[in-house]
Amino acid sequence: MQSLSPKDAKIRFIEFLRNLPLFGSNTFLVQKVSQRGCPSPCLVCLNKEGVLFLHPKTQEQVFNIALEKIQSMRTIRPKKEGKLPAIEIHFGNAGKPQNILLHLKEAKELCHMLALTIEELTTITH
C-alpha cells in the first residue's frame, strides 16, 4: 500500500468498504424478537436487500425478510412504564401472512426507515 498515492489509497479503501456485506445498512440492536430461531437480543440490519436478522456475537444471518414481502408495519407503544416500544411487521403472501414483533428503543426510527426504504424501492421499480 505504501506505493499508492494518498488518493489511490482512499479509492481502494472505499472500494473495500463498499464490498463489505453490511455496507449501507442501518443496524439496530433489538432486545426481543418474536421469530422462532432468532436470538434475543439480535442485530437487525435494514438495507435495499431487506431486513436481516443477525446473531449479535457472530453476525451470522439467522433470518431475513425481503422488502417485497412486507405488507404492512406499525409501531406499538409499551403497555407498562419501563418496557420497550415495538414494531410489528406483517410479511409473506396474502394467503398465508406472517408477522414478527421487534422490541427496541428505536422502534419509531426503524419503522420510519423501513417505510422510506420500501418507498424508494417502489419508486425505482415503477
pTM: 0.80
Amino acid 65: pLDDT: 95
Q: What confidence category does residue 73 fall into, taking pLDDT thresholds of 50, 70 and 90?
A: very high
pLDDT tens by residue, 6-38: 899 898 988 888 777 677 789 999 999 999 889
- Evaluate whether the domain defined by 24-125 bears CATH number 3.40.190.10: no
Instruction: Give the residue-averaged pLDDT of 91-102.
Output: 91
Angle 124-64-44 from CA coordinates, rounded to 5°:
95
| Extents of the domains making up the chain | 24-125
Note the residue count of the chain: 126
